[in-house]
Amino acid sequence: MPVKGRCHCGAIQFEVGEMPAELTSCNCSFCVRRGGLVAYYKPGQFKLATAPSRVWTYQWGDYLVQHHYCPVCGMGTHSEMPGFESGQPDFDNPRIAVNARLFEDTSWETLPVKHVNGREDW
């Protein structure tokens, strides 16, 4: 069942194919400051319902990850990245990291959370 989400002001809206089985909390410098809980999806499972030109992007470091946010309210909505399951960038298996705290359906609050040590592993 599709799950809708949006930033605080509603300027950026999106939809994912289903509620994830688990969420990820990361302690890297970016994720700690952003404060989101991440749900990962394949690109085909994510639909941006807002014109891409209305979404702003932040990149840093190696520029492998595009962190998207709302230019009006500042909410970080999603990020586009290669897969990193092997510890190295896998450009053949990209994924979308969605801030699950922005889902309109709040049943995400009951999902298990996997903690990733991004501070030392990235």
For the chain, domain boundaries: 3-7+36-121
Q: What is the pLDDT of residue 26?
A: 87
Q: What is the pLDDT of residue 10?
A: 98
Distances (CA, A) of 61 to 79, 102, 104, 122: 15, 26, 32, 11
* C-beta atoms surrounding 116 within 10 Å: 15
Q: What is the pLDDT of residue 25?
A: 92
| CATH fold of 3-7+36-121 | 2.170.150
- pLDDT value at 118 more than 70: yes
Q: What is the pLDDT of residue 106?
A: 84
Model confidence over 63-117: pLDDT tens digits? 899 999 999 999 999 999 998 877 788 899 999 999 999 999 888 899 999 998 7
Sheet arrangement for strand 3-6: 3-6, 13-16, 46-48
Let me know: does 57 contact 120? Beta carbons within 8 Å: no
Let me know: does 31 contact 118? Beta carbons within 8 Å: yes
Model confidence over 25-52: pLDDT tens digits? 988 888 888 888 999 999 999 999 999 9
Amino acid at 21: A
Q: What is the pLDDT of residue 122?
A: 60
This prediction's pTM? 0.90
More confident residue, 84 or 13: 13
Strands (E), 42-87: 46-48, 56-58, 66-69, 76-83
**Residue 68 CA, distance from chain mean position:** 8
Q: What is the pLDDT of residue 120?
A: 78
